[in-house]
Amino acid sequence: MNIGALVRGRESILLCLAAMLLFAASDVIAKHLSETFHPLQIAWFRYLAASILLAVVCLRSGLPAPSAASASQVIRGVGMAGATILLIAALKLQPMAEATALVFISPGLVTLLCVLILKERVPARRWLGVAGGLLGVLVILRPGFAGYNPAAFFSIGSAASWATALVMTRRAVVADSLATTLAYSALTGFVLLSLALPFVFQEMSFEQVVLSCATAGLWLAAHVAIAFAYRRPEAQVSRLAPVSYTHLLWATGIGYLAFGTIPDAMTVAGSVLIVASGLAALKGDRPA
Protein backbone atom coordinates (compact mmCIF):
# COMPACT_ATOMS: atom_id res chain seq x y z
CA MET A 1 0.00 0.00 0.00
CA ASN A 2 1.28 3.45 -0.94
CA ILE A 3 1.04 5.32 2.36
CA GLY A 4 1.99 8.61 0.72
CA ALA A 5 -0.87 8.36 -1.77
CA LEU A 6 -3.29 7.45 1.02
CA VAL A 7 -2.29 10.48 3.11
CA ARG A 8 -1.98 12.95 0.22
CA GLY A 9 -4.92 15.34 0.09
CA ARG A 10 -5.95 14.41 3.64
CA GLU A 11 -3.25 16.30 5.52
CA SER A 12 -5.73 18.84 6.89
CA ILE A 13 -7.92 16.09 8.36
CA LEU A 14 -4.91 14.33 9.88
CA LEU A 15 -3.73 17.61 11.42
CA CYS A 16 -7.17 18.18 12.96
CA LEU A 17 -7.25 14.62 14.30
CA ALA A 18 -3.82 15.18 15.85
CA ALA A 19 -5.00 18.47 17.34
CA MET A 20 -7.97 16.79 19.05
CA LEU A 21 -5.65 14.15 20.53
CA LEU A 22 -3.28 16.88 21.75
CA PHE A 23 -6.16 18.79 23.34
CA ALA A 24 -7.35 15.66 25.16
CA ALA A 25 -3.81 14.84 26.34
CA SER A 26 -3.38 18.40 27.60
CA ASP A 27 -6.72 18.22 29.41
CA VAL A 28 -5.90 14.98 31.20
CA ILE A 29 -2.70 16.52 32.58
CA ALA A 30 -4.62 19.66 33.55
CA LYS A 31 -7.22 17.51 35.34
CA HIS A 32 -4.44 15.79 37.29
CA LEU A 33 -2.86 19.12 38.25
CA SER A 34 -6.24 20.62 39.19
CA GLU A 35 -6.46 18.19 42.10
CA THR A 36 -3.75 20.31 43.75
CA PHE A 37 -3.63 23.68 42.01
CA HIS A 38 -6.12 26.41 41.15
CA PRO A 39 -7.34 26.47 37.52
CA LEU A 40 -5.98 30.02 37.15
CA GLN A 41 -2.46 28.81 37.90
CA ILE A 42 -2.71 25.96 35.37
CA ALA A 43 -4.18 28.24 32.71
CA TRP A 44 -1.38 30.77 33.30
CA PHE A 45 1.18 28.25 32.02
CA ARG A 46 -0.82 27.83 28.80
CA TYR A 47 -0.83 31.55 28.15
CA LEU A 48 2.83 31.80 29.09
CA ALA A 49 3.55 29.31 26.29
CA ALA A 50 1.39 31.30 23.86
CA SER A 51 3.18 34.52 24.81
CA ILE A 52 6.60 32.92 24.29
CA LEU A 53 5.53 31.78 20.81
CA LEU A 54 4.26 35.31 20.09
CA ALA A 55 7.62 36.74 21.16
CA VAL A 56 9.44 34.36 18.80
CA VAL A 57 7.15 35.36 15.92
CA CYS A 58 7.69 39.06 16.68
CA LEU A 59 11.47 38.60 16.69
CA ARG A 60 11.28 37.06 13.22
CA SER A 61 8.55 39.19 11.64
CA GLY A 62 8.37 42.36 13.69
CA LEU A 63 5.62 43.75 15.89
CA PRO A 64 2.02 43.35 14.64
CA ALA A 65 0.09 46.45 13.58
CA PRO A 66 -2.10 48.27 16.14
CA SER A 67 -5.70 47.10 16.30
CA ALA A 68 -8.49 48.99 14.57
CA ALA A 69 -11.07 47.08 16.66
CA SER A 70 -9.45 46.94 20.07
CA ALA A 71 -12.71 46.49 22.00
CA SER A 72 -13.65 43.41 19.96
CA GLN A 73 -10.13 42.07 20.31
CA VAL A 74 -10.12 42.45 24.09
CA ILE A 75 -13.57 40.84 24.44
CA ARG A 76 -12.35 37.99 22.23
CA GLY A 77 -9.24 37.56 24.36
CA VAL A 78 -11.24 37.57 27.60
CA GLY A 79 -13.65 35.02 26.12
CA MET A 80 -10.82 32.68 25.14
CA ALA A 81 -9.20 32.99 28.57
CA GLY A 82 -12.55 32.38 30.27
CA ALA A 83 -13.14 29.28 28.15
CA THR A 84 -9.74 27.88 29.18
CA ILE A 85 -10.14 28.62 32.90
CA LEU A 86 -13.70 27.32 33.15
CA LEU A 87 -12.85 24.14 31.26
CA ILE A 88 -10.02 23.37 33.69
CA ALA A 89 -12.44 24.01 36.57
CA ALA A 90 -14.94 21.65 34.91
CA LEU A 91 -12.28 18.98 34.50
CA LYS A 92 -11.42 19.31 38.19
CA LEU A 93 -14.99 18.56 39.26
CA GLN A 94 -16.31 16.22 36.55
CA PRO A 95 -15.23 13.15 34.58
CA MET A 96 -13.42 14.07 31.37
CA ALA A 97 -16.10 12.74 29.02
CA GLU A 98 -18.91 14.70 30.69
CA ALA A 99 -16.91 17.94 30.95
CA THR A 100 -15.82 17.70 27.30
CA ALA A 101 -19.25 16.77 25.92
CA LEU A 102 -20.97 19.83 27.39
CA VAL A 103 -18.39 22.16 25.84
CA PHE A 104 -19.62 21.06 22.40
CA ILE A 105 -22.83 23.06 22.79
CA SER A 106 -20.73 26.07 21.73
CA PRO A 107 -21.84 25.85 18.04
CA GLY A 108 -25.45 26.32 19.16
CA LEU A 109 -24.47 29.25 21.36
CA VAL A 110 -22.55 30.77 18.45
CA THR A 111 -25.75 30.59 16.39
CA LEU A 112 -27.71 32.42 19.09
CA LEU A 113 -25.05 35.11 19.48
CA CYS A 114 -24.76 35.59 15.71
CA VAL A 115 -28.47 36.40 15.61
CA LEU A 116 -28.35 38.69 18.66
CA ILE A 117 -25.04 40.47 17.99
CA LEU A 118 -24.28 40.13 14.28
CA LYS A 119 -27.95 40.18 13.18
CA GLU A 120 -27.41 37.20 10.89
CA ARG A 121 -30.27 35.19 9.42
CA VAL A 122 -30.17 31.53 10.40
CA PRO A 123 -31.80 28.69 8.41
CA ALA A 124 -34.37 26.46 10.08
CA ARG A 125 -32.08 23.41 10.03
CA ARG A 126 -29.55 25.28 12.17
CA TRP A 127 -32.24 26.10 14.75
CA LEU A 128 -33.17 22.41 14.90
CA GLY A 129 -29.51 21.68 15.56
CA VAL A 130 -29.46 24.23 18.39
CA ALA A 131 -32.60 22.70 19.93
CA GLY A 132 -31.15 19.19 19.67
CA GLY A 133 -27.89 20.30 21.28
CA LEU A 134 -29.73 21.91 24.19
CA LEU A 135 -31.80 18.75 24.63
CA GLY A 136 -28.55 16.79 24.78
CA VAL A 137 -27.32 19.12 27.52
CA LEU A 138 -30.49 18.48 29.55
CA VAL A 139 -29.97 14.73 29.17
CA ILE A 140 -26.43 15.03 30.55
CA LEU A 141 -27.42 17.47 33.30
CA ARG A 142 -30.53 15.40 34.22
CA PRO A 143 -31.97 18.19 36.44
CA GLY A 144 -34.12 16.87 39.24
CA PHE A 145 -32.43 13.47 39.22
CA ALA A 146 -29.92 12.04 41.69
CA GLY A 147 -27.13 12.20 39.10
CA TYR A 148 -27.43 15.97 38.67
CA ASN A 149 -24.03 17.66 39.00
CA PRO A 150 -24.09 21.48 39.31
CA ALA A 151 -20.37 21.54 38.41
CA ALA A 152 -21.51 20.94 34.82
CA PHE A 153 -22.23 24.66 34.59
CA PHE A 154 -18.48 25.26 34.45
CA SER A 155 -18.49 23.39 31.13
CA ILE A 156 -21.47 25.38 29.92
CA GLY A 157 -19.74 28.60 30.99
CA SER A 158 -16.66 27.51 29.05
CA ALA A 159 -18.79 26.89 25.96
CA ALA A 160 -20.44 30.31 26.33
CA SER A 161 -17.07 32.02 26.68
CA TRP A 162 -15.72 30.23 23.62
CA ALA A 163 -18.84 31.11 21.61
CA THR A 164 -18.40 34.78 22.56
CA ALA A 165 -14.77 34.64 21.43
CA LEU A 166 -15.76 33.11 18.09
CA VAL A 167 -18.40 35.75 17.42
CA MET A 168 -15.93 38.52 18.28
CA THR A 169 -13.46 36.86 15.92
CA ARG A 170 -15.82 37.68 13.05
CA ARG A 171 -15.52 41.38 13.89
CA ALA A 172 -11.84 41.34 14.78
CA VAL A 173 -10.44 39.62 11.69
CA VAL A 174 -12.31 41.97 9.36
CA ALA A 175 -10.56 44.97 10.91
CA ASP A 176 -7.15 43.54 11.84
CA SER A 177 -4.47 41.20 10.55
CA LEU A 178 -4.12 37.65 11.81
CA ALA A 179 -0.90 38.61 13.62
CA THR A 180 -2.68 41.40 15.52
CA THR A 181 -5.54 39.06 16.44
CA LEU A 182 -3.13 36.39 17.72
CA ALA A 183 -1.21 39.00 19.72
CA TYR A 184 -4.37 40.18 21.47
CA SER A 185 -5.43 36.56 22.14
CA ALA A 186 -2.13 35.69 23.81
CA LEU A 187 -1.50 38.92 25.69
CA THR A 188 -5.03 39.54 26.99
CA GLY A 189 -5.14 36.14 28.69
CA PHE A 190 -1.54 36.35 29.91
CA VAL A 191 -1.97 39.81 31.45
CA LEU A 192 -5.26 38.93 33.18
CA LEU A 193 -3.95 35.63 34.53
CA SER A 194 -0.67 37.22 35.66
CA LEU A 195 -2.65 39.78 37.67
CA ALA A 196 -4.68 37.01 39.32
CA LEU A 197 -1.82 34.57 39.84
CA PRO A 198 -0.45 36.03 43.13
CA PHE A 199 -3.83 35.42 44.80
CA VAL A 200 -3.96 31.71 43.97
CA PHE A 201 -0.33 30.69 43.52
CA GLN A 202 0.91 27.54 45.24
CA GLU A 203 4.53 26.45 45.19
CA MET A 204 5.26 23.63 42.73
CA SER A 205 7.76 20.81 42.73
CA PHE A 206 10.03 20.27 39.74
CA GLU A 207 7.79 17.44 38.52
CA GLN A 208 4.68 19.62 38.77
CA VAL A 209 6.39 22.42 36.82
CA VAL A 210 7.30 19.89 34.11
CA LEU A 211 3.67 18.69 33.95
CA SER A 212 2.42 22.28 33.80
CA CYS A 213 4.79 22.99 30.91
CA ALA A 214 3.63 19.77 29.24
CA THR A 215 -0.07 20.68 29.38
CA ALA A 216 0.79 24.14 28.04
CA GLY A 217 2.96 22.74 25.24
CA LEU A 218 0.34 20.20 24.16
CA TRP A 219 -2.40 22.87 24.22
CA LEU A 220 -0.29 25.24 22.12
CA ALA A 221 0.71 22.49 19.69
CA ALA A 222 -2.98 21.66 19.19
CA HIS A 223 -3.77 25.27 18.29
CA VAL A 224 -0.81 25.39 15.88
CA ALA A 225 -1.94 22.12 14.25
CA ILE A 226 -5.43 23.55 13.70
CA ALA A 227 -3.97 26.73 12.21
CA PHE A 228 -1.88 24.71 9.75
CA ALA A 229 -4.84 22.45 8.95
CA TYR A 230 -7.02 25.37 7.91
CA ARG A 231 -4.21 26.80 5.78
CA ARG A 232 -3.91 23.62 3.70
CA PRO A 233 -5.14 24.03 0.09
CA GLU A 234 -7.63 21.16 0.43
CA ALA A 235 -9.08 22.50 3.70
CA GLN A 236 -12.83 23.13 3.88
CA VAL A 237 -14.67 24.18 7.03
CA SER A 238 -17.53 21.76 6.29
CA ARG A 239 -15.01 18.95 5.92
CA LEU A 240 -12.91 19.72 8.98
CA ALA A 241 -15.52 20.83 11.53
CA PRO A 242 -16.91 17.31 12.20
CA VAL A 243 -13.37 16.12 13.05
CA SER A 244 -13.52 18.21 16.23
CA TYR A 245 -16.05 15.76 17.67
CA THR A 246 -13.29 13.12 17.87
CA HIS A 247 -12.15 15.14 20.90
CA LEU A 248 -14.99 13.41 22.75
CA LEU A 249 -13.64 9.97 21.83
CA TRP A 250 -10.11 10.89 22.87
CA ALA A 251 -11.32 12.41 26.14
CA THR A 252 -13.37 9.31 26.97
CA GLY A 253 -10.53 6.91 26.14
CA ILE A 254 -7.78 8.86 27.89
CA GLY A 255 -10.08 9.55 30.84
CA TYR A 256 -10.61 5.82 31.24
CA LEU A 257 -6.88 5.01 30.98
CA ALA A 258 -5.82 7.77 33.37
CA PHE A 259 -8.65 7.81 35.90
CA GLY A 260 -10.65 4.63 35.28
CA THR A 261 -13.84 6.61 34.60
CA ILE A 262 -16.47 5.39 32.14
CA PRO A 263 -19.35 7.71 31.12
CA ASP A 264 -22.78 6.48 32.18
CA ALA A 265 -25.63 5.82 29.76
CA MET A 266 -27.16 9.30 30.21
CA THR A 267 -23.86 11.02 29.41
CA VAL A 268 -23.37 8.84 26.32
CA ALA A 269 -26.95 9.50 25.14
CA GLY A 270 -26.61 13.25 25.67
CA SER A 271 -23.21 13.32 23.93
CA VAL A 272 -24.60 11.45 20.90
CA LEU A 273 -27.51 13.90 20.72
CA ILE A 274 -25.18 16.94 20.89
CA VAL A 275 -22.86 15.55 18.18
CA ALA A 276 -25.73 14.45 15.91
CA SER A 277 -27.39 17.86 16.23
CA GLY A 278 -24.14 19.64 15.42
CA LEU A 279 -23.52 17.48 12.35
CA ALA A 280 -27.10 17.92 11.14
CA ALA A 281 -26.82 21.72 11.40
CA LEU A 282 -23.45 21.62 9.64
CA LYS A 283 -24.85 19.52 6.81
CA GLY A 284 -27.44 22.20 6.22
CA ASP A 285 -24.68 24.76 5.63
CA ARG A 286 -23.00 22.78 2.84
CA PRO A 287 -23.48 23.94 -0.72
CA ALA A 288 -25.81 21.79 -2.79
CA distance 45 to 189: 11
Measured distance CA(3)–CA(220) in Å, rounded: 28
Residues 170, 167: Cα–Cα separation, whole Å: 5
Cα-only R_g, the chain: 19
Angle ∠(130,22,111) on CA atoms, nearest 5: 15
Highest mean pLDDT among 21-30, 177-186, 260-269, 276-285: 21-30
pLDDT in tens, 277-287: 777 766 644 43
Is the distance from CB of 164 to CB of 148 less than 8 angstroms?
A: no
For residues 237 and 245, give the distance between their C-alpha atoms in angstroms, rounded to a whole number: 14
What band does 152 get if pLDDT is binned at 50, 70 and 90? confident
The pLDDT of residue 105: 80
pLDDT at 268 over 80: yes
pLDDT band at 138 (very low <50, low <70, confident <90, very high): confident
Q: Report pLDDT digits (tens) over 53-67.
A: 889 888 888 888 888
* Per-residue pLDDT tens digits for 72-120: 889 989 999 999 999 999 999 988 888 888 888 877 787 777 777 777 7
Q: Residue 6: which pLDDT band, with cuts at 50, 70 and 90?
A: very low
Poorest-pLDDT segment among 84-93, 134-143, 177-186? 134-143
**Structure confidence at residue 207 as a pLDDT band (50, 70, 90):** very high
CA atoms within 13 A on the CB side of 253: 10
Instruction: Over range 22-42, report the average pLDDT.
Output: 94
Read off the pLDDT band of 5 (50, 70, 90).
very low
Query: Residue 141: which residues within 8 A CB-CB, separation 6 or more?
Result: 148, 149, 152, 270
SS3 string, 18-75, reads: HHHHHHHHHHHHHHHHHCCCCHHHHHHHHHHHHHHHHHHHHHHHCCCCCCCCHHHHHH
| Tens of pLDDT, residues 223-255 | 888 878 877 776 565 566 667 778 888 888 888
Rounded to whole angstroms, how far apart are CA atoms 191 and 207?
25
What burial letters (b/e) apply to 10-41, b meaning 16+ CB within 10 Å? eebbebbbbbbbbbbbbbbbbbbbbeebbbbb
pLDDT of 146 above 70? no
